[in-house]
């Protein structure tokens, strides 16, 4: 009897304590620094998919709830309140594949031009501002958008730039157009052979270089530019101004996290963080290599910027196994329809590639391989499979960057091997204009196969490949839900069975990307305890007509519970 009584008392004491804690927590809820209420919150949290209000304290979300319940976290004079007035709130966008760097004010932007003569005009203007011998850079042209759909040649720029090196990158960055100044300085003639994995495009009538250099042939170029004399202070000011413009551009588009292939500038990121001006989270890695000295540097960077950090983290090791569909250098099993003598350009022999993948996997690195063509993707999956066989299975989260054209037999292997398809939906609506011309309709059934990958239970992370494509996530969302060109062509879209719902597209751009960088347990959802990264739109992307998606505006971008961008005129 005494034992039963004691047990009963203990149970009642425990119940009383729990009730008291519950009451106290209700009366003494933590006061938020920032509260958003009266919103349509799409959380991407399957357990709690919708809400009306969010509370932030420090960098963290402390409540995702109703308008009524959020009031207990608000205190006049302490908390900032944003009344969303019914607007859409989603997690901050995480660009899983972006080439992010400072914005060069002198760069010639040739995106979306349809008349190749504009190249001549733009270069003429740049030469007028430059000194003789000064390098002139530009690009983002796409010859498939030209009226004649022909590759541009050096004759477009030679007459207006006889004394300056000029290099203009194709939109995909895998081919460049240069002028005769650079060709001469590089010692390249009609007799120069193509390097492995590269092509010097030559005039079929004369055999002379046209000015187009593809893939590894770009490594032959020597610009011979004369240095621009700036003081150290001027150089620093220009660099910081250009980086600030880049961070501002990301914030204006609702991008709160980025994942960079090689080329990350850790010193710059740290400098902005130390100044309190870092407005996005960064996961940056290095190039695929077997060099022991570089691998030691990677180890040091991993230690300095560990995976459990929230702002600057050392990321995946990236390599290339082929080129691009637009440049005709992506690696396929079968020849190109419009170039039957070609199947693409492997960037290294398979045996060397596999050896590097196995070694890096054994060292514990996450690997991401650029693969566009079906054979390139097959090779990459084979190398990852070999690494598992030799090193054992672990949560490596290896990636294929782009995964654009897949053989049907390889689609299930992504889930089986735990490989992430890091894809860019805007590539679909850009490349579909010429994809069937390049590889035929049958192979295109495996192109940008988002739904087929999801049906096979594969993981997908969305990004942009900026500056190859615009940085705006809205263009990617539009592409994912329509598979139509940006002008809004009639019909159901290109291979419409692969279209996604808006909510799924947002998920792949947030939670999907967070998973790709081992962060799904603290970002990618609007959830209590997660990092406070959210975006407020002026339009409801879930319900508006598709032709209004790309014209929607970001009203607020919030990173770590702080407003880092507010659109002029937004309330």
What CATH number is associated with residue 538?
A: 2.30.40.10
Q: Please give the pLDDT value at position 179.
A: 95
Q: Does 102 reside within a domain?
A: no
Q: How far is CA 500 from CA 202, 343, 479, 481, in A?
A: 42, 31, 9, 5
The average confidence (pLDDT) of the chain is: 93
Q: Does 232 reside within a domain?
A: no
Could you give phi then psi for residue 173, rounded to 5 degrees? Answer: 75, 0
Q: Please indicate, yes or no, whether residues 339 and 199 belong to a single structural domain of this protein.
A: no
For 291-306, the pLDDT digits (tens) are: 999 999 999 999 999 9
Q: Please give the pLDDT value at position 346.
A: 96
Q: Please indicate, yes or no, whether residues 358 and 444 belong to a single structural domain of this protein.
A: yes
Q: Please give the pLDDT value at position 49.
A: 98
Q: Does 296 reside within a domain?
A: yes
Q: Residue 69 pLDDT more than 90? A: yes
Q: Which of 315, 345, 368 is the last residue of a domain?
A: 315
Q: What is the mean pLDDT of residues 230-255?
A: 92
Closest CA to 84 of 104, 113, 54: 54
For 471-504, the pLDDT digits (tens) are: 999 999 999 999 999 999 999 999 999 999 999 9
Q: Please indicate, yes or no, whether residues 280 and 157 belong to a single structural domain of this protein.
A: no
Q: Which of 274, 297, 315 is the last residue of a domain?
A: 315
Q: Please give the pLDDT value at position 571.
A: 82
Confidence of residue 233 (pLDDT cuts 50, 70, 90): confident
Q: Please indicate, yes or no, whether residues 153 and 46 belong to a single structural domain of this protein.
A: no
Q: Does 103 reside within a domain?
A: no
Q: Please indicate, yes or no, whether residues 336 and 306 belong to a single structural domain of this protein.
A: no
Q: Does 230 reside within a domain?
A: no
Q: Does 229 reside within a domain?
A: no
Q: Please indicate, yes or no, whether residues 332 and 361 belong to a single structural domain of this protein.
A: yes
Q: Which of 315, 334, 349 is the last residue of a domain?
A: 315
- For residues 505 and 455, the answer to whether their CB atoms sit within 8 Å is no
The answer for residues whose C-beta is within 8 angstroms of residue 416's C-beta and 6 or more apart is: none
Q: Please indicate, yes or no, whether residues 117 and 63 belong to a single structural domain of this protein.
A: no
For 361-416, the pLDDT digits (tens) are: 999 999 999 999 999 999 999 999 999 999 999 999 999 999 999 999 999 999 99
Which segment of 226-230, 327-331, 357-361, 364-368 scores lowest on mean pLDDT?
226-230
For 128-140, the pLDDT digits (tens) are: 998 899 999 999 9
CB count, 10 Å around CB of 147?
Answer: 8
Q: Please indicate, yes or no, whether residues 204 and 245 belong to a single structural domain of this protein.
A: no
- pTM: predicted TM-score of the whole model, two decimal places: 0.88
Confidence of residue 231 (pLDDT cuts 50, 70, 90): confident
Tokens found for residue 352: 């060397």
Q: Please indicate, yes or no, whether residues 161 and 304 belong to a single structural domain of this protein.
A: no
Supply the range of the domain harboring residue 65: 31-91+528-553+561-571
Q: Please indicate, yes or no, whether residues 462 and 394 belong to a single structural domain of this protein.
A: yes
Q: Please indicate, yes or no, whether residues 137 and 206 belong to a single structural domain of this protein.
A: yes
Q: Residue 24 pLDDT more than 60? A: no
Split into its structural domains, the chain has a count of 5
Q: Does 231 reside within a domain?
A: no
Q: Does 226 reside within a domain?
A: no
Q: Please give the pLDDT value at position 26.
A: 45
Q: Please give the pLDDT value at position 552.
A: 98
Q: Please indicate, yes or no, whether residues 18 and 142 belong to a single structural domain of this protein.
A: no
- For residues 501 and 463, the answer to whether their CB atoms sit within 8 Å is no
Q: Residue 262 pLDDT more than 60? A: yes
């Amino acid at each position: 009897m005494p034992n039963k009584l004691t047990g009963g008392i203990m149970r009642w004491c425990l119940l009383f304590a729990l009730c008291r804690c519950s009451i106290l927590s209700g009366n003494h809820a933590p006061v938020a620094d920032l509260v958003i209420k009266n919103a349509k919150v799409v959380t991407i949290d399957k357990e709690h998919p919708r809400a009306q209000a969010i509370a932030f304290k420090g960098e963290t979300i402390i409540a995702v709830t109703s308008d009524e319940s959020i009031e207990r976290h608000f205190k006049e004079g302490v908390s900032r309140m944003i009344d969303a007035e019914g607007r859409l709130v989603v997690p901050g966008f995480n660009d899983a594949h972006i080439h992010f760097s400072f914005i060069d004010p002198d760069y010639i932007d040739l995106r979306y031009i349809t008349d190749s003569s504009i190249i001549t005009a733009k270069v003429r203007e740049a030469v007028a501002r430059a000194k003789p011998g000064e390098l002139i850079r530009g690009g983002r042209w796409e010859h498939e958008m030209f009226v004649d759909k022909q590759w541009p040649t050096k004759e477009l720029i030679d007459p207006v730039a006889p004394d300056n090196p000029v290099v203009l990158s194709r939109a995909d960055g895998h081919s460049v157009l240069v002028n005769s100044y650079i060709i001469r300085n590089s010692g390249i003639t009609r007799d120069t052979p193509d390097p492995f994995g590269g092509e010097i495009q030559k005039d079929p009538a004369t055999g002379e270089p046209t000015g187009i250099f593809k893939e590894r042939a770009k490594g032959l170029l020597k610009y011979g530019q004369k240095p621009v004399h700036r003081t150290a202070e001027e150089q620093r000011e220009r660099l910081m101004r250009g980086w600030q413009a880049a961070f501002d551009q990301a914030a204006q588009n609702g991008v709160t996290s980025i994942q960079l292939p090689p080329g990350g500038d850790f010193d710059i990121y740290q400098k902005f963080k130390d100044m309190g001006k870092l407005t996005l989270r960064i996961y940056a890695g290095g190039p695929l290599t077997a060099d022991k000295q570089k691998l030691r540097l990677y180890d040091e960077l991993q230690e300095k910027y560990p995976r459990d950090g929230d702002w600057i983290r050392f990321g995946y090791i990236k390599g290339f196994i082929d080129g691009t569909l637009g440049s005709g250098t992506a690696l396929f099993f079968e020849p190109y329809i419009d170039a039957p003598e070609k199947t693409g350009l492997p960037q290294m022999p398979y045996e060397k590639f596999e050896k590097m993948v196995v070694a890096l996997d054994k060292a514990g690195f996450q690997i991401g391989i650029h693969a566009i063509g079906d054979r390139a993707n097959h090779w990459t999956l084979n190398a990852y499979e070999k690494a598992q066989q030799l090193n054992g299975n672990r949560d490596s989260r290896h990636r294929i960057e782009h995964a654009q054209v897949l053989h049907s037999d390889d689609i299930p292997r992504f889930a089986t091997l735990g490989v992430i398809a890091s894809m860019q939906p805007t590539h679909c609506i850009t490349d579909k204009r010429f994809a069937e011309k390049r590889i035929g309709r049958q192979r295109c059934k495996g192109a940008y196969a988002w739904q087929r990958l999801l049906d096979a239970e594969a993981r997908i992370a969305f990004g942009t490949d900026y500056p190859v494509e615009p940085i705006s996530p809205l263009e990617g969302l539009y592409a994912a839900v329509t598979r139509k060109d940006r002008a809004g062509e009639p019909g159901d879209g290109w291979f419409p069975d692969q279209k996604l719902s808006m909510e799924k597209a947002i998920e792949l751009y947030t939670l999907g990307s967070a998973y790709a960088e081992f962060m799904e347990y603290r970002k990618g959802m609007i959830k209590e305890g997660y990092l406070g990264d959210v975006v407020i739109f002026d339009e409801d992307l879930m319900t508006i007509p598709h032709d209004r998606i790309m014209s929607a505006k970001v009203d607020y971008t919030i990173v770590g519970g702080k407003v880092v961008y507010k659109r002029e005129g937004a309330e």
